[in-house]
């Protein structure tokens, strides 16, 4: 029953909106429907890609490319994989979960997710056009340093306080 509490609460909020603020309810419903359509269009190809990744990329390859012992090469690959794609960041979360399941390190998955969210190449090109090379380069480097720090911190915290879901072993 607990898993139904969020949808019930959302339904109650919508019901309240329809009663007291019908215009806001209609706008909210339109935004919800648009978001649902976007997700319904984007997520099936992502799940297909994940299925192919499960079959085509063996666990030992992911562990050697992005695992705990991948070092600088794994970090560079994680950033490269995160900067290339376009699309909303919620697409990256199932991919990140699959990478973790196959043995990628937490630090590299944080780099991948952070790069997807903040270091995309198309975004960098827009920054260069409107704000100049200096600003874009400085923001890129500072964001990359912050992502490396976050990945290192996440790895340290999860190594010290592992949970049942964490695939990484403490060093």
How do the domains of the chain map onto residue ranges? 1-56, 58-171
What's the pLDDT score for residue 171? 46
What's the pLDDT score for residue 19? 94
What's the pLDDT score for residue 51? 84
Cα dihedral 3, 4, 6, 9 in deg (nearest 10): -160
Question: 161: pLDDT confidence band, cut at 50, 70 and 90?
Answer: confident
What's the pLDDT score for residue 48? 87
What's the pLDDT score for residue 169? 52
Q: Against a cut of 0.85, is the pTM above it?
A: no
Q: Which two tokens stand for residue 33?
A: 């429907």
pLDDT tens for residues 46-102? Answer: 888 888 888 888 888 899 899 999 999 999 999 999 998 877 888 899 889 989 999
pLDDT above 60: residue 27: yes
pLDDT tens for residues 113-149? Answer: 999 999 998 889 999 999 999 999 999 999 999 999 9
Question: 25: pLDDT confidence band, cut at 50, 70 and 90?
Answer: very high
Rounded CA separation 120/76 (Å)? 14
What's the pLDDT score for residue 164? 61
* Three-state SS sequence of the chain: CHHHHHHHHHHHHHHHHHHHCHHHHHHHHHHHHHHHHHHHHHHHHHHHHHHHHHHHCCHHHHHHHHCCCCHHHHHHHHHHHHHCCCCCHHHHHHHHHHHHHCCCCHHHHHHHHHHHHHCCHHHHHHHHHHHCHHHHHHHHHHHHHHHHHHHHHHHHHHHHCCCCCCCCCCC
Question: 110: pLDDT confidence band, cut at 50, 70 and 90?
Answer: very high
Rounded CA separation 121/82 (Å)? 9
Contacts of 158 (CB under 8 A, 6+ apart): 106, 166, 168
Rounded CA separation 166/107 (Å)? 13
């Amino acid at each position: 029953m607990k898993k139904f509490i969020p949808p019930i609460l959302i339904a109650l909020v919508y019901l309240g909106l329809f009663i007291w603020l019908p215009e806001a309810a209609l706008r909210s419903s339109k935004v919800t429907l648009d978001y649902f359509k976007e997700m319904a269009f984007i997520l099936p190809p992502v799940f297909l890609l994940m299925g192919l990744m499960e079959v085509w990329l063996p666990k030992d390859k992911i562990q050697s490319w992005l695992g705990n012992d991948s070092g600088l090469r794994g970090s560079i690959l994680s950033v490269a994989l995160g900067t290339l794609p376009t699309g909303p960041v919620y697409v990256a979360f199932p991919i990140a979960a699959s990478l973790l399941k196959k043995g990628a390190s937490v630090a590299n998955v944080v780099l991948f997710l952070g790069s997807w969210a903040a270091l995309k190449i198309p975004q960098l090109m827009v920054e260069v056009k409107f704000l100049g090379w200096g600003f874009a380069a400085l923001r890129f480097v500072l964001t990359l340093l912050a992502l490396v720090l976050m990945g290192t911190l996440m790895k340290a915290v999860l190594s010290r306080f592992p949970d049942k879901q964490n695939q990484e072993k403490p060093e």
